[in-house]
Each structure stands twice: as structure tokens, then as C-alpha cells.
Structure 1
Amino acid sequence: MSLAPVLLVGWCAALFLYGLGAGPLYRTESLRAIIGAECLRGHWVYPVLHGEPFLTKPPGHYAAIGLASLPTGRVTEVTARLPSAIAATVSVLLMAGLFRRVLGDRAGLLAGLLVPCSILWLDKAPSAEIDMTLVGWVTAALILFHRALEAGERPSPGFLAASLLCVAAGTLTKWTAPAFFALTAVPILAWRRQLQLLVGWPFLAATLVAVAVVAGWAALVTQQVGWDALADTVRKEAAYRFAPKSAAKGYPWSEVLTYPLLVWAAHLPLSLFALRTLRRGFAARWDDRGRLLLAFLHCWAWPNLLFWALVPNHNVRYALPVSPALMGLGVMGLLDWWCARSASGRRERAVSERVDDARQQPAHAGRSPAVLLAAFLALWLAAKVVFVEVVVPRRTAGRDAEATAAALREYVPAGEPLYLLKLKDEGVLFYYGRPSRKLSSPAQLPQGAHVALIEAEWREWEANRTGELVRWMYDQQGDPLILARVLPP
């Protein structure tokens, strides 16, 4: 029995499970956790925040947090981050299985060990954020699609259906999932001169099933919150992604060039070997299955990277679903370098045996690629330890979300909702752990209710004598967070 699966599972546990509970939830992690907690209160169909529908993202990741939290009955730092860790592990095992099936055991093990060695994974894999869950669904969809293509001119209907169902699940996790799939599937089919498969019955049937899944969810949501609310939110999300942040500054042309470089830099050092796969004649060194894998990874990486470089709003994490492909190309480049080095070493040994006075080997002869790989993995593990033990505590130091939340629980009676108007601090509200309600106007506040205000709101209330101060506190950013009680008119 091969020990590779055990080794990979242990590697994933070290990279993704270690540190799940390190430090309080950070930035929008708290937002994801709060909405995940609403699932435990029965809101599984669509996301709910402070009593209102929150449709900027579909419910997939929030439902995953809710499911992970069922055994404990409440959302914690660990259960909020667990879905991302599971998705990262599945992605690694899928990539390892892909390389093992096509290139053999050594390539599969190498891919499994190296794919997660990116600074993006270091931050996002053990995180309550949505990004890694999206990576899991996109990776599953594309690897199943690759498996369907391996059947030749007649792709496997079963693998196509499974692939498109993963696209549907990815869409219900984040709206951008279909874009990653389409920007890979169309180029690889064009390269294979099989674009006609897009209108063949297996692909169309699988697509209809996937569309039906998403449409069924949309129908449930519109039945409860209305079509206008869902459509308006999706339009705003699209505008946020595809419109420049500032109309005055215009389109950020400089970022079109710098964004791919940032993504490439985030995957160093393996991305250096990915460049090796662009060399002329590189594809000719592989058999037919190897060339298909190489083309597949190129079609996964570069069209998507170009697309997200052209989108005006840039963030390196938006390209995270491209990461497995870029790292996979790095693995193929590394394997080629490894083979070239081994062949060179054999030639050097053959020459040295024919030279009588060559008593000493070159100084670098003992540094085999395996030793270098082991050293790199040890360094990466050390980087993980530093991130968990040093970086995480430092970036969350002084935020005091738990202390502020404890003070809120002390002054707001149990069973009474905490009302919000303009306050936005999901970190404090997550650790508060009780129901909160968002209102659009102070006129909607019931008499005697407790409300959390920002300083500008409190100054207005103080001037109009509409509320009494209960406790002056500070949020995670150090800005005033004022707990007040509504006075009778």
C-alpha cells in the first residue's frame, strides 16, 4: 500500500488544520461567521444579516459554516474556518490524483505537496472567508471536466454532469464560479478542435441540470424576498466587479500589467518553474496524456488570469481559483527540470568514470533535487508556524472585540435584540453572540430599546435628547461604539 495518501493528508492537516483556532476572527471573517450562525437559527435558503436578507453572496459557504457548527450548536472560530480547510484539502487531493493518473505516482505526490505552497493559501486556507470554498468547487468542476475529455471524441456524460453540478454548487457559493469554468472549458475545447461538444446533447443536458439547480434556488429566494431584491443585489455586485472604483480616475490601465505579476509573485518560487512550461518545445517532451494535461493547465491559468486582469477592481485573492493551475504548471516545469538535471548527472558520471585522474565529484553533486525539495517543504512548514504563532496574534492585537462584546452582553438584557443603524463592526457583533437587528431609521426603534451607535449618531441623539447613554465603548478600529437606550418621546 502506498504511503502517499497518508503523507498528503498529514501535510494538509499541518497546513490547514493547525491554526484554525489561532486568534479571533479577522476582518470579514466575522461577517461570514455571523451569517453562518443564522443558518443555525433556520436561515439556510438565503443569507441573513441582522434580520435582513444579505444576498451579495449566495448561501453555499454560509451553509457550510452552519453544517460544520451543528455538532457544537454554535459557530466558533474553528467551525467558521473549517469549511475552507476542508475545501483546501479536497483541492490538494484532487490535484494530486490528477497528476498521479496522468504522470504517475511521483508526480502525484509532488503536486499534492507543492500546490498549497503559496502565500495566498497560507492566509486563506485556514480562514472563514469564501475564497477557498470557491477554489474547491472550481477545482472539482475542472478536474472532472478534464476526466471527461480523456475519453476522447465522446466525452463521458457522467463526468460532464458531475462537472457541471460542481459549477452549480460553486455558483451557489460565489457568483464568479461559472466564469472560471467557461474561461477554461472553451479554450481547451478550441485547442482540441472540439468546440462542437458545447452544443452536443451530453454537455447541454448537464448544463440544463446545473442551470435548473441554480434557478430552483433563485425561485425559492424570490418567493420569500422578492425578485427585485435578488436582481438588484446581483446587479450591484456585477457593477462593483466590472466598474472602476473611481469614475474620476477612469480605467486602471497600469493594473492590467501589474496584476498578473502580483498573482505570479504570490506563487513564488514554484511559479518560476511555471515559466519553464512556456519554452518552445516543452510540450513535445510529454506523451499524449501529458500534453493534454499541460494544455489544460495553460487554458485554466492564462485566460482566467487575463480576464481578471482586465476587470477594473483588482484583488489578488480574486484569482485564487487560478492557483491550482499555476502551481500545477510549476510542478510540470519542476519535473522537467528534475529529469534534465538527472540526465545531466548521468552524463557527468559517465564521463568521470572514463577520466582516471577525476578523483573528486563536483561540489554540487550531493545536492539532489529530493534534498532540495525536503528543505523547501521544511521551510514552508516553518513559515506556517511563524504565520500562526507570530503574524496572526500581531494583526489581531488590540482589537478587543471579545471584551467589547462581553460589555454589550452585560448591559443589554438577555432575550432583547440589539438594534443597529449605521454601525458596522461584525467582529464585536459576532462575539456578542445574540440576535441583532438592522433598522434604516431611528423612528423604527421601539421605546426602551438598546441601540449601538457611532459617534455622529450619538451626538445627534444627545442634542435632541432622544436617548440616554448606557456605555461608551470602542470598536475594533478604535472608533467610539456607544450603547444607548431609546427614551420615550
Structure 2
Amino acid sequence: MLNREEFFKTDSPSLIILVLFTLAMFFLSLGGRDFWAPDEGEYAQISQEMIESGDWIIPRLNGIPSAQKPPFFNWAAAAFSLPAGRVTEVTARLPSAIMGMIGVLATYWLGKGLFGRRTGFLSALILATSPIYLHQARWVQVDMVYSAFVYLTLACFYHGYLNDAKRGKYFLLGALLMSLGTLTKGPAAIVLPGSTILIFLILKRRLREFLTRDLLLCLLVCILIVSPWYLAVYLRVGANFVWELIIRHNLYMFFETWSHKRPFYYYLINLPWEFFPWIVFLPAAILNTLANDKERDQRLFLFAWFIGMFCFFSLSEAKQAKYLLPLFPSIALIVGRFWDDILSDRQSLSYKNGLLLPAVFLAVVMVFGSAAAAWVVNNKYPEFLKTSLPLGTLFALSGAAVFIMALFRLKRELFATIVVSLLLIASYLTIIINPEINHYKTAKPFCEETVKIAKDKPLGIYGIFLHQMGPYVFYTGRKLKIFDDEGEVVGFFNTQERVFCIMRDTYFNSFKDKYNGPVYSLSSASIGHRKVHLVSNQP
């Protein structure tokens, strides 16, 4: 299929396959597990409170205004939940899944503009099968949604860059998408694509050419779309909320973070895992790109995108794997172009150096990695051995198939083997592994037991921080009284009325030792790596 020119004469065949593929990758069993910490329960509960209160301006968690992120993601999740009248595991994940699909299609569209339809198609498949992309397309967080807006913004810019006649329209559409990204995660949706475009135009020595009325119109569009919400929250809850939203969760996180602080080289270690298995082809793909002087503009644009964002994120004090998501299409396109050249016999490197050695290395990692993983599971997590063995076998067989295809120069079959193997592995994880892990990660059964015991009596929570609290608020369906210190819990328990409090194990043990009155643990559960108790002052 991939070598038939007629397949790529129109967009329809590629788009149909990409839509079907992403439906299988991102939408299969989307509600097959409960909300997990961190963040999933938080975003779901904020959306639920929007529906219940009718207030879609101020995001609230447990009735308290939440300045973590702007509200676009919650608007989308709440809108999808309106027909049912309540947020569910499916409706909360739909924004990420849908934008994951759109991000893949945007990569195809950009790849088509950069190199042609086949490169766009291959690059889109590479992006869709990257571990971090798959994870975020199935997770209740803002990162997939805002990253897709970044992709679309850059795609609009490059198509406008190529097309003088439609430049204004493309740039205007890009400004609209960038504004929606800003309403999803804040100024990063402007800084990231804006810096990429700036670096590219400076390298091309064409910056002055693009400083036109179109740029001013784009800025005006951004201001008109973004400012009404910021103005509304300023008028409703004051300047502190806006300060925390823009300054504390952006500038402070960049320069002097209070969480996720990691060394500057963190992403050098992290990126290979999040772009596996395609990372093994990236060095050859970069060399292949550098050797092609006929595609200088494309090379500059992708390198400005990748290197600029990678350096930006590496300089930031706060680092998480998902932060790199906005740059992934750039390396997917570099590797996709390499595979297109391989399939067309246009590559600058020899078959041995360009494809055989990376593929053999990948096969060895997959075969021996599956054996090592089986040993670890058997020794540390024996309860998962039965369900993980088929996954390890599939991984090892995929590695063996990769080795055979590479050895016999079956290039199209090699690419298809990798893609299909990743689809099967992702499906097994979704259908079999995740429900098993869900028993250990979910707070839902504990919360349902809490509701049965506590009924309508006062219920508090202590020792569980705000970004971990979402599942407890969501699954109890209660507004919980939040305690910041032990003294507040003592005051809560010093009453003749029966009261209840959800506590982390370490906080419960400390409180039990210091409190003079009776303390009873009526229910407990291990949720992730934390043990929690339902505690009461009466049996």
C-alpha cells in the first residue's frame, strides 16, 4: 500500500485510515477505568461543578475557585456531559481523545505541506503510536488539548508561509486556534508556537516581511478571544486569582518551581522512552535531513520547532514528561520523512547504517526487554504475572518480526509491523492491563463505602493535597471540609455529633497518637501508593 502512488493521489485514503486508526488507539474502552490521581478526578470534578452550579466562568473544585488552568478543557468536558447530566469517565476523556485525533490529522496536513502526502501519513502514524501521545490522548488533563492547538497553529503558519494569496486567512485561523490554546493552558500556547515562528523567520531573514497588518490583526483576534474570560474572573474573584493563574503557574513554575523540579538533562533521559520505538531511527533521520539541501526551509522549520522547544523546556525548573508533548510532531515529521525516503530509496545513508542497525537494536531491546520485564514482574508484582505474560510475549514476537523484516530488507513490511505491533500492544494494555491496575489505583470503591457509612453526616478530608483530592470529591458526591492542620481536625472531632474524616495513613497515625479522644478507622484502602482511612469520633 505505502509504495503505491495512486494511494497518495488524494487525501481521502490517508484520512480514512488515520481516523480509523486513532479511533482504535484513543477511543477503545475509553471509560474502562475510573479516574486516577493525579489530575483526572480534579478536572472531572471541576467540570461537574460547572454543570451543577451553572457557573461556567469560575472553575471550582470542592466549591473553591481553582486557578490551576483556564477553563476551556472543563468547558469541553462539561459540554460533552450535558446530555447525561453528569460527568462520566467517557465524557471527561472525550476532549483529550478528540484533540488527540485532530493532532494526528494536523500532523498529516502539515507533513503534506512540508514534504507530501506520504510523509504526512507516515509521520501521523508515528505520532499516534508514541507512548506519551497515546497516554495523554486517553487521560483527563489539559495537555493533549492545548498541544493540538499548538500543532494546528504551526500548521496554519507554515501553510500561510507557502501561500501568499491565502496567508491572511491561514494566519487568522492560526490566531484563533492559538487563542483557544491560551484558554486551555495559558500563555504557553502563545510562547511556544510564537518562538518557533520567530526563530524560523530570523533564520530565513524574512522577519520584517511578516511584520504586517496581518500580524496586528492576529494579535487583535487573540486579545478579543482571550481577554473577556480573564476580565470576567478578575471582576468576579479579584486580581489574586488572575495573578496565580498567569504568574504563579507560569513564570514561577519556569524560574523557581515548588513541584516537579528536575535537573536540566531530565528530558535527555526521558525523551527516548516517550518516543519509543521511533527514537532508534531519529539519529539516522536527522542525518538524512541534514544531507538534503533541497529541503532547507522544511529542515529549518522542524529544527526551529524541535530545538527551540526542547531548550525552552530544559531551561524550565519544572519538568514533566507531558510538557514535551507540543514538540512531538516535529520529530515525528523528521522520522516520517526518513521513512518516506527509505521506502522510495532516496535516503542519504546506506541501508545498513540507516535502517538495518537501528532495527536490529530495536529488536534486541524488545526481545530482551520483555524478558527483563517478566523477571521484574515475577519478583516484585507477582499478582500481575498472569496478565502481563501475554503482553511480554507479544512484545518479544514483535521484536523478532522486526529483526526478520529488517534482515530481509522488507522495508514496507517492517514499518507496518512496528505500527500494527504498537496498536496490538496498546489495545492489550487498554482492555486487559488497565482494568487490573484499576483495582489498585481507583478511589471509587473506598468513596462508595464512605458514602454508605457517613451518609449525610459531616465529612472532612485531611492529608490529601488539593491536586490529589479530586477523585474523593467526585466519587463521594460531597463537598468535603478541608483541614490544613491537625488542630483543625481536633476541633472537628471535639463534638457530640458523629463526624467523619478521610485521612492519609501517615496523618491518621500521627493524629491517633496525639488526639485525646476516641478515634476509629471504619474503613481503609490502598489507593495507588497511598493508604487512606475513613476515620470517625464514634464507632
TM-score, reference length from structure 1: 0.83
For residues 409 and 257 of structure 1, do their structure 2 counterparts lie closer, same or farther at Cα, with a shift above 3 Å needed?
closer
Residue in structure 2 matching 1:4, options 14, 17, 33: 14
The answer to whether 1:217 aligns with 2:229 is yes
Structure 1 stretch displaced more, 98-107 or 82-91: 98-107
CA distance in 2, matches of 1:281, 1:53: 49
1:194 aligns with 2:236: no
How many Å apart are 1:338 and its aligned residue?
2.6
2:192 maps to 180
Change (3 A) 1:101 1:259: closer
Q: Which residue among 179, 200, 212 is the counterpart of 1:168?
A: 179
- The answer on whether the counterparts of 1:418 and 1:436 sit within 8 Å (CA) in structure 2 is yes
Partner of 1:144: 156
Query: Does 2:430 correspond to 1:388?
Result: yes
Instruction: Report the residue type matching 2:276 in the other structure.
Output: L
Partner residue in 2 for 1:116: 128
Deviations 1:418-458 (A, max 9, x none): 44454444323322234445466566999858552426479
- SS of aligned partner of 2:440: coil
Q: Per-residue deviation at 1:220?
A: 0.4
Which structure 2 residues correspond to residues 88-127 of structure 1 after superposition, within 5 A?
88-127=100-139
- Give secondary structure in 2 for the equivalent of 1:482: strand
Judged with a 3 Å threshold, the aligned counterparts in structure 2 of structure 1 residues 342 and 120 are, in CA distance, closer, same or farther, namely closer
Match of 1:20 in 2: 30
| Residue-by-residue CA offset, 1:8-28 (whole Å, 9 max, x unaligned) | 111011110113122222212
Which residue of structure 2 lines up, in the alignment, with residue 348 of structure 1?
A: none
User: Separation in 1 of the partners of 2:96 and 2:76?
Assistant: 9
SS of 1:329's equivalent in the other structure is helix
Does the 8 Å CA contact 2:259/2:318 hold for their aligned counterparts? no
For 1:304-323, what aligned pairs fall within 5 Å after superposition? 304-323=309-328
Amino acid at match of 1:188: F
Task: Answer whether contact 1:25 1:427 (CA < 8 A) is retained.
Answer: yes
In structure 1, distance between residues paired with 2:72 and 2:450: 30
Partners of 1:483 and 1:10 in 2: how far apart?
A: 49
SS, match of residue 522 in structure 2? strand
**Kindly tell me: are residues 466 and 382 of structure 1, through their superposed partners in 2, closer, same or farther at Cα, counting changes over 3 Å?**
same
- Deviation track 1:246-275 (CA, whole Å, cap 9, x = no partner) reads 99xxx96xx333423421442133334443
Give yes or no for contact 1:274–1:331 (8 Å, CA) kept in 2: no
Greater CA drift, 300-309 or 109-118: 109-118
The residue correspondences of 1:262-281 to structure 2 (distance < 5 A) are 262-279=270-287
- Paired position in structure 2 for 1:36: 47
What is the total number of aligned residue pairs between the two structures?
A: 459
Q: List gaps (5 residues or longer) in structure 2.
A: 1-9, 351-404
1:225 shift after superposition: 0.9
Q: Deviations over 1:19-68 (max 9, x none)?
A: 31222222121112111212212232132111101111111112121112
Preserved contact between residue 502 and residue 535 of structure 2 (Cα < 8 Å) = yes
- State the alpha-carbon separation in 2 of the partners of residues 108 and 273 from structure 1: 17
- 1:25 partner letter: F
- SS of the aligned residue for 2:534 comes to strand
Mapped partners of 2:324, 2:499: distance in 1: 42
Deviations 1:196-223 (A, max 9, x none): 2564221122112202322221110011
TM-score (norm 2): 0.76
Alignment correspondent of 1:432: 476
Q: Please give the alpha-carbon distance, in whole angstroms, between the structure 2 residues aligned to 1:50 and 1:10.
A: 38
Quote the residue 2:62 is aligned against: 50
SS at match of 1:142: helix
Q: Give SS of 2:287's match.
A: coil
Distance in 1, matches of 2:518 and 2:206, equals 69
2:87 alignment partner in structure 1: 75
1:327 matched to which residue of 2?
Answer: 332
Q: Pairwise CA RMSD of aligned residues?
A: 3.4
Deviates more, 1:42-51 or 1:429-438: 429-438
Q: How much does 1:383 deviate? A: 1.5
Q: Note closer, same or farther for the CA distance 1:33–1:162 as it changes in structure 2 (3 Å cut).
A: same
**Offset, 1:283:** 6.0
Q: Does 1:473 align with 2:478?
A: no
Q: 2:419 aligns to what?
A: 377
Q: Which structure 1 residue ranges, 5 or more long, are not aligned? A: 346-362
Secondary structure in 1 aligned to 2:205? coil
* CA distances 1:335-387 after superposition (whole Å, capped 9, x unpaired): 22333369999xxxxxxxxxxxxxxxxx9896432111221112111221232
Give SS of 2:138's match.
coil
Distance 2:418 2:288 in 1: 28
Deviation at 1:179, TM superposition (A): 2.2
Task: Give the structure 2 partner of residue 349 of structure 1.
Answer: none
Tell me the residue number matched to 1:243: 256
Change (3 A) 1:74 1:461: same
